[in-house]
Structure 1
Amino acid sequence: MRRIRAALTALAGTLLLAVTTLGLPSTAHAAELVEITDFGPNPGGTRMHVYVPDNTQPNPPVVVAMHGCGGDGPGFAQSSGFNGLADQHGFIVIYPTATQQTAFGTCFDVWSPQSKTRDGGSDPVSIASMVSYTHQQYGGDPARTFATGSSSGGMETNALLALYPDVFAAGAAFMGVPFSCFLDEADFPPWNSQCVNGQKDETPQTWGDAVRQAHPGYNGPRPPIQLWHGTDDTLVPFQLLREATEQWTDVHGLSQTPSFTDQPQPGWERENFADAGGTVWVESITVRGAGHTLPMSGMAAEAISFFGIAD
């Protein structure tokens, strides 16, 4: 039994849908990537594609998989490996496409005030709408809904878990940054960003407070998270893996010292942060020698395993 199952059991009883679905019935065909244009509130103007494999589990899990800056949902569907895993394990994949134009191309919004507040607007609300639509139209399981993404998508993964802890049961962020790292849109491009040029070094409590302030009054369980970063990443520096780890260990009330470490594959060094009962809530994975190129081979499968979808 995977370590994540204990965490999912704790979360399952409290998961709630975050938004009301307004979309029309889907015309999707099995084993095809289909665009949905009317899925509900969409303040971010975000596009939605969904992949439903030929054979799904009863009340199938739902994975939201998000691309990096300049990419799109269909491209991430082709390159990330999640469609093949969906075919194998019977889960549904939502592929959002960002349309927020920045000096670094189209990216998911993680800088505006709206993107940092529960139901504040922008991309997080749009993606929550996609999730609600998928639950209702395809019978997706609200207790097994997950977020993952690369670069900009990894940043949005952190945001979604902060803003919607009652919607997402777990997340896996590749090459992301801590939630609320960016001050505003001017701080987003790497060449002039305090967030990604190595100047952001906050205390764990400061990072944790940012998550707690995103959804004031929420006292329920927080989703587990898996964090990935390459040591040779020159675009989103490796140092931010430590900052994100500090954020989520503080949110979960865990020690900054790993409970144990292991090596899932050669070159992958994983720090596991567990509670007193042994449940791992945060995994921090260092990928030796990797640049801004994640996920690489085998990493999507490791994320699915962390989610508890694959035995």
Structure 2
Amino acid sequence: MILKALTTLALAVAGANAAANQLQQVTNFGSNPTNVGMYVYKPTKLASPLPLIVGMHYCTGTAQAYFTGTQYANLADQYGFIVIYPNAPDSGGCWDVHTNATLTHNAGGDSLGIASMVRYAISTYGVDANHVFATGTSSGAMMTNVLMGAYPDLFQAGSAFSGVPYGCFEGSDMWNSQCAEGLVIKTPQEWGDLVRSGYPGYTGPRPKFQFWHGTADTTLYPQNFWEDIKQWTNVFGVSQTPVTNTTNDPLPGYSWATFGPNVDAILAQGVGHTVPVRESDVLNWFGITNSGSGGTTTTSTAPPTTSSPASGTVAHYGQCGGIGYTGSTVCAAPYTCQVSNSYYSQCL
């Protein structure tokens, strides 16, 4: 079922790259209990200090597919950072984001193999330990969440495209329909406690986190976006009310909310699974570039919303209500407006 639902993901990941060098496999890089594959892209010219990005593929994907299907390697040629593309050992290409081992610091699972890759890159390639980042799509976005919670000592920032909160798949098999369908609802404190349980006793800085989600996602439902907001605002001890919210940013129909300097949440109106990767915005979030996201925006302090016409009907999966929403509240037949939370109702 999961493979059927996610097979089209390869088509959603934008444009093949034309990187100058080849992807290289690395073995014997450290503790790797589940046999995660390590593939590295090193540009000819390296920056100083040297950043590292870990880019993680979706279910049914591979390290090679994420290498050719995203622009990170091309951008590495330009900016001089190294990219690690882990390869999931599961036969379906999905990441282990559900076992206690992978959710816990240095306890095992796929996350430990990836952490070992980071440590290897720091010791072998001279990567600056203060410039290590993670990003991914779908299952790779879920693993990005896991790494932010279980290995806050290794990463400075993450950016996740169409994932779920840390710990949402906990205790399940490889797939968790309750979480996927947005039915796992917790308080901000409960979500935050899950993240803190990933590395018991850790008191150091937490990596800042950015997450993207589409309102028409029927694989990992958009309620996961709102649960992510609860989780990461709690982790950083900030309000769930955004400091800023810009509309049509970085594309028409997108809404970009900031919750202080450490949490960004981008909601894409009418976009399904998955939100296309925005490499330039990711590099800006990581601090590798200083370019803006590029769109004409209007700024408010309202929660992230999606726009609908003031009159007429709202299409399937569109927003039809919530605090700060000013569009139509009438859904196109046969759909009805259903409340997800106080900020978001959706035509389902």
Contact 1:150 1:173 in 2 (8 A): yes
Aligned to 2:284: 305
Contact 1:273 1:281 in 2 (8 A): yes
Aligned to 1:162: 149
Provide the rounded CA distance (Å) in 2 between the counterparts of 1:33 and 1:113. 31
Aligned to 1:141: 128
Aligned to 1:171: 158
**Among 39, 53, 64, the residue aligned to 1:63:** 53
Cα deviation 1:123-182 (Å, max 9, x = unaligned): 111001101111122111110000000000000000001011111000001111001101
Matches within 5 A, 1:52-91: 52-91=42-81
Are residues 1:286 and 2:267 paired? yes
Cα deviation 1:253-298 (Å, max 9, x = unaligned): 0001001111233222111001xxxxx11000011221113334xx
Give the TM-score, by structure 1 length: 0.84
Contact 1:157 1:173 in 2 (8 A): yes
Are residues 1:198 and 2:161 paired? no
Are residues 1:232 and 2:216 paired? yes
Provide the rounded CA distance (Å) in 2 between the counterparts of 1:294 and 1:244. 16
Q: Which has the higher contact order (CA 8 A, sep 6+)?
A: 1
Give the C-alpha shift of residue 39 in structure 1: 0.9
Provide the rounded CA distance (Å) in 2 between the counterparts of 1:75 and 1:211. 30
Are residues 1:222 and 2:203 paired? no
Matches within 5 A, 1:90-109: 90-101=80-91, 105-109=92-96
Provide the rounded CA distance (Å) in 2 between the counterparts of 1:232 and 1:120. 36
Are residues 1:123 and 2:110 paired? yes
Aligned to 1:23: none
Aligned residues: 269
**Among 259, 262, 279, the residue aligned to 1:273:** 259
Code of the aligned partner of 1:134: A
Provide the rounded CA distance (Å) in 1 between the counterparts of 2:145 and 2:124. 26
Aligned to 2:97: 110
Instruction: Report the 3-state secondary structure (helix = DSSP H, G, I; strand = E; otherwise coil) of the residue aligned with 1:172.
Output: strand
Provide the rounded CA distance (Å) in 1 between the counterparts of 2:254 and 2:109. 35
Aligned to 1:35: 25
Code of the aligned partner of 1:167: L
Provide the rounded CA distance (Å) in 2 between the counterparts of 1:295 and 1:142. 28
Structure with higher helix content: 1
**Among 246, 249, 255, the residue aligned to 2:239:** 255
Kindly name which structure, 1 or 2, has the bigger radius of gyration based on alpha carbons. Answer: 2
Of stretches 284-293 and 263-272 in structure 1, the one that deviates more from structure 2 is 263-272
Provide the rounded CA distance (Å) in 1 between the counterparts of 2:206 and 2:215. 28
Instruction: Report the 3-state secondary structure (helix = DSSP H, G, I; strand = E; otherwise coil) of the residue aligned with 2:105.
Output: coil
Give the C-alpha shift of residue 307 in structure 1: 0.3
Give the C-alpha shift of residue 197 in structure 1: 1.7
Instruction: Report the 3-state secondary structure (helix = DSSP H, G, I; strand = E; otherwise coil) of the residue aligned with 1:136.
Output: helix
Give the C-alpha shift of residue 183 in structure 1: 3.2
Provide the rounded CA distance (Å) in 1 between the counterparts of 2:166 and 2:107. 15
Provide the rounded CA distance (Å) in 1 between the counterparts of 2:288 and 2:151. 20
Provide the rounded CA distance (Å) in 2 between the counterparts of 1:140 and 1:220. 20
Contact 1:32 1:53 in 2 (8 A): no
Contact 2:133 2:156 in 1 (8 A): yes
Contact 2:97 2:146 in 1 (8 A): yes
Give the C-alpha shift of residue 81 in structure 1: 1.3
**Runs (4+) off by over 3 Å:** none
> Could you list the runs of 5+ residues in structure 1 that have no partner in the other structure?
1-29, 275-279
Instruction: Report the 3-state secondary structure (helix = DSSP H, G, I; strand = E; otherwise coil) of the residue aligned with 1:205.
Output: helix
Give the C-alpha shift of residue 89 in structure 1: 1.1
Cα deviation 1:28-87 (Å, max 9, x = unaligned): xx8221000211111121001000111110231000000001111011011121111111
Provide the rounded CA distance (Å) in 1 between the counterparts of 2:27 and 2:244. 45
Identical aligned residues as a percent? 45
Contact 2:182 2:220 in 1 (8 A): no
